[in-house]
Structure 1
Amino acid sequence: MTTQRVTVFGGTGFLGRRLVERLARAGCAVIVAARHDGEIAVPDASGTIVFRRTDVRDADDVAAALDGADAAVNAVSLYVERHGLSFEAIHVDAAARIARQAAEAGLRLVHVSGIGVDTRSDSAYVRARAAGENAVRQTHPDAVVVRPSVLFGPDDAFSSSLRMLARLPVVPLFGRGETRLQPVHVDDVAEAMARILERGITGATFELGGSGVHRYRDLVRAALDAAGRHPPRVPVPFALWRALSALLAVLPSPPLTRDQVILLETDNIVGEQAQTFAALGIEPRDLLRFLTQGR
């Protein structure tokens, strides 16, 4: 293990938690820097896990979380703006703050972004992710940027939503369901990030997608087949989905946001020239198998 002590910002999140577990099993001392205390039990861990309450908007908190570390990972995510938390504050300003302080301390950094980031996107979330990448590159040129596709795994939001659709008498599709997706298992992404740290890789960008590229309608069909149900599937124009998301925006935790709708309007797959799992010796899993077999 090249890295002995790693600070994982957002280490209690869906992806961050898996990375913390993987690093602890490999013998790392892991500092979990998150806004809320948590508990991650790894029975077979040879390393240690320490929680440090951290607000990534506070420079002193970030500095304290990085103290004594060999490397850092920014896995902080915000999917819905709320309670004074904005995409700009988390995905741009905080990303730049972590990158700058990691660079000043001479620490290697892995920054989590996403496939399809674009500063010209209609989605405020996608624009902020892209701006955050740019800020990281400017302040820490040696940082590694990891762009995962839609994450799936135990208790994830994406496959859970597909299974929920299987219970409906009529299944609405996003558009005609032709958008191509390449969902990736959360544990595969965590493994990739751990290997990046272990191998001391710097200055690279990885796009991480699952082994299969699927149309949204085919994923819905797989979920229906797994549930043994075959209700009608009805195409719904994206304009109507955007209108619905605007109505739902008044809720504290809307089940659908404008940004989520926009993300489903365009293909979300690994680029042809991108570095992928193959460069790290990992064979990723396929969501279709997960939907049908649970693994």
Structure 2
Amino acid sequence: MHVLIVGAGGFIGRHIAGRLLADGFDVTLAGRRPVGLARCWPQAATLACDLSRDDAGVWEARLAGIDAVVNCAGLIGHRADYAGVHDQGPRALFDACLAAGVGRVIQISALGADATGVTPYHCSKQRADEHLAALDPMGGRMGWAVLRPSLVLGRGGASMALFTMLAALPLTPRLGKGGWQVQPIHIDDLVEAVVRLLRHDGPIALKLDAVGPAPMTTDELTAALRRWLGMGAVPRIGIPQWLLAWVARLGIGPATRESLTMLAAGNCAPVAPFVSALGFRPMAMDQALARHPAAPADLAEARDGAIAPILPVLLALVWLAGGNVSLAFAPPDLIATWLTRGGLSGFTAAAALWAGSLADIAVGLALLARVRGAALAGMALMLVYTAILTAAAPELWADPFGPLVKNIAVLGLSLAVHAKEIRRG
């Protein structure tokens, strides 16, 4: 069987790709960055795609020789193109699958993508799910299945990153008074469900909620992950929902406003239909975690997750302070003295002061706006300033207040922010 995985670069797509290749399937990996996919899986074919732009005609040409399609594409966030990536794009893909004679389509949706949906994320997924079901209601021409997972946990997943970060803090935050209900499924079980659906003989037309064996509270989930990380119990601290929403709105944490809304609404469903349709019972979370013991790197990553979102903010404050202090707070005589030592005076000095200060402020604002390359631009600017001051006043390197030595720390912070930016993709 030749399987096309759309969204193969994402968390779920990567795991499905690895399992199918290990099981001997012929696999084509589709995503926005096919070069990276080819590096990870040189034994698989790759193609570039963009669900927000590619129409049914484009997809139909790509589907020659494809027996099954698994759509794992998904995103979440206040700037997410739900209409393109969750709704219009998948509908075009599904239309092309029917026209090209693809025998099976599996759509990875989300728990709550039904009449109970409470967010634009859910509603956009639901529209694509319903379109797929309407193309072949009985699954006789193009067998189809919609899997609607709850939280999907596993290394590399956003939900895992969020809850392990919470679990690793010195005091465990209590979300929604600790009573928000979730029913997480491990990525291994979700992948197993996809494999069984691909191998299913005969017509298929299913919508299944993919959940773990039993609901658990967010308190219970963070406690399980803290045990997995090898950490002892600590007191819990309540976090008001308004504060969680404020942090998510600022974009300085791993949670988004929509993910918090989903958690507050509940993320649970009966597991019996899943078990009946697929013939296996998903693992309880403690069992799933035991199969993948935590390593020191997992604890380091969890702790890093708590501070990583604030690093760009801290670096931005350094640049904003530098620009504003020079323009509005530093004594003019002192500024003039330093500019004179650099060989500048009159209009040239004023222009240099304004240009440098505005450049500092621009870097700070770019960091707050998460503009790619902002940290690198700041490093280049800082190195220019350091070189100029070293030439004009080398004694500053021995100054007890360390005006130049502190640039080394800023360089380290800038490198850390840039590394996180690369990792974020």
Q: TM-score, normalised by structure 2?
A: 0.61
Which letter maps to 1:124?
P
Question: Any idea what the Cα deviations from partners look like across 1:106-165, whole Å, max 9, x if unmatched?
Answer: 222111111122456442212211222122223343321111121111232223322222
Change in 2 beyond 3 A, CA 1:80/1:67: farther
- The Cα offsets for residues 54-98 of structure 1, whole Å up to 9 and x where unpaired, read as 12231244223322211211111112254xx50111111011111
Q: Report the alpha carbon displacement of residue 24 of structure 1 after superposing the two structures with TM.
A: 2.3
Letter in 2 for 1:240: L
User: What residue is the counterpart of 2:236 in the other structure?
Assistant: 233
1:213 maps to which of 212, 215, 221: 215
Alignment of 1:129-168 (within 5 A): 129-141=125-137, 142=139, 143-168=144-169
Q: Identity of paired residues, percent?
A: 27
The structure with the largest alpha-carbon Rg is: 2
Q: Which residue in the other structure is 1:270 paired with? A: 269
CA drift at 1:28: 2.0
Is residue 257 of structure 1 aligned with residue 256 of structure 2? yes
Residue in 2 that maps onto 1:80: 77
Q: Which residue of 1 aligns with 2:88?
A: 93
Q: How does 1:1-295 map to 2 (within 5 A)?
A: 4-37=1-34, 38-39=37-38, 49-56=44-51, 57-59=53-55, 60-80=57-77, 82=79, 86-107=81-102, 108-118=104-114, 121-141=117-137, 142=139, 143-200=144-201, 201-226=203-228, 227-248=230-251, 255-271=254-270, 275-291=273-289, 294=292
In 2, the alpha carbon distance for the partners of 1:91 and 1:231 equals: 40
**Mean CA deviation greater in 285-294 or 22-31:** 285-294
Secondary structure, in 3 states, of the residue corresponding to 1:158? helix
Task: State the one-letter code of the partner of 1:117.
Answer: A
**Conservation of the 8 A alpha-carbon contact between 1:172 and 1:233:** yes
* Secondary structure in 2 matching 1:8: strand
Conserved? CA contact 1:182–1:214, under 8 Å: yes
Contact 1:54 1:61 in 2 (8 A): no
1: CA distance between counterparts of 2:275 and 2:39? Answer: 26
Report which of the two has the higher share of strand. 1
Aligned-residue RMSD, C-alpha:
2.5
Give secondary structure in 1 for the equivalent of 2:38.
coil
Equivalent position amino acid for 1:66 in 2: L
SS state at 1:284 partner: coil
**AA aligned opposite 1:88:** A
Distance 2:180 2:82 in 1: 25
Give unmatched runs, 5+ long, in structure 1: none
Cα drift, residue 51 of structure 1: 0.6
Q: How far apart, in 1, do the equivalents of 2:173 and 2:217 lie?
A: 15
Structure 1 distance, partners of 2:184, 2:32, is 28
- TM-aligned CA distance change 1:221 to 1:153, over 3 Å: same
Q: For residues 41 and 283 of structure 1, what CA distance do their matches in structure 2 show?
A: 31
Offset at residue 217 of structure 1 (A): 0.7
Question: In 2, are the aligned partners of 1:168 and 1:231 still within 8 Å (CA)?
Answer: no
Q: Which moved more, 1:256-265 or 1:277-286?
A: 277-286
What amino acid is aligned across from residue 221 of structure 1 in structure 2? A
Name the SS for the 1:206 alignment partner.
Answer: strand
CA shift, 1:292, in A, is 5.7
> How far apart are 1:40 and its partner, in Å?
6.7
In 2, distance between residues paired with 1:292 and 1:161? 19
CA distance in 2, matches of 1:50, 1:42: 8
Inter-CA distance 120–221: structure 2 relative to 1 (3 Å threshold) = closer
Aligned residues: 281
- Asked if 1 retains the 8 angstrom alpha-carbon contact of 2:152 and 2:187, the reply is yes
Distance 1:122 1:192 in 2: 26
Higher fraction of helix: 2
**What TM-score, normalized to structure 1?**
0.85
Counterpart AA for 2:263: L
- Which has the bigger relative contact order, CA under 8 A and spacing at least 6? 1
- Residue type of the alignment partner of 2:61: A
